[in-house]
Amino acid sequence: MSFAPENGCAHGYAVVTPDAVNSARETSDPLLLLDVRTPAEYQSHRMPGARLLPIQELAARWRELDPNAYTICICEHGIRSEAAADFLFQQGFVRVATMRGGMVRWRGPVERG
């Protein structure tokens, strides 16, 4: 998976497809799936292994994250995850991406509860 920004994009984070995320989950590289939705959304349905850190708490808690980890930000439609990826990139995270389309486009396994 490439964590390089898309050609012509002004942002410094990558935008990846749900299929690319599903493939990356199966590799041996450590991957942080950062779910930036609300706790209720997270409980409703989430990617297996995703870590919840609501976007409302990100500015106060981003130091809990490893800036060297491959981090994919996830939300419901892809808007909050873009904001989260941009914020993390500004904090020095160089291997950060957002999943295009969010969980509504995710066709991989989900956990509930």
Quote the longest CA-to-CA distance of the chain: 40
- 73 part of the active site: no
Amino acid making up residue 88:
L
Per the structure block, which two tokens stand in for 6?
Answer: 């898309």
Instruction: Identify the domain containing residue 80 by its residue range.
Output: 14-105
**Assigned domain for 70 exists:** yes
pTM: 0.91
DSSP state letter for 46: B
Domain contains 51: yes
Residue 43 belongs to a domain: yes
Residue 112, domain member (yes or no): no
Contact status, residue 97 vs residue 13, Cβ threshold 8 Å:
yes
Q: How many domains does the chain have?
A: 1
pLDDT at residue 3, as a whole number: 55
Q: How far apart are CA 44 and CA 38, in angstroms?
A: 10
Task: Tell whether 111 is covered by a domain.
Answer: no
Catalytic residue among 47, 58, 65, 75: 75
Q: Is residue 110 part of a domain?
A: no
Q: What is the CATH number of the domain that holds 60?
A: 3.40.250.10
Q: Taking the mean position of all CA atoms in its chain, how far away is CA 68?
A: 14
Q: What is the pLDDT of residues 20-52, one digit of tens each?
A: 999 888 775 779 999 999 999 999 999 999 999
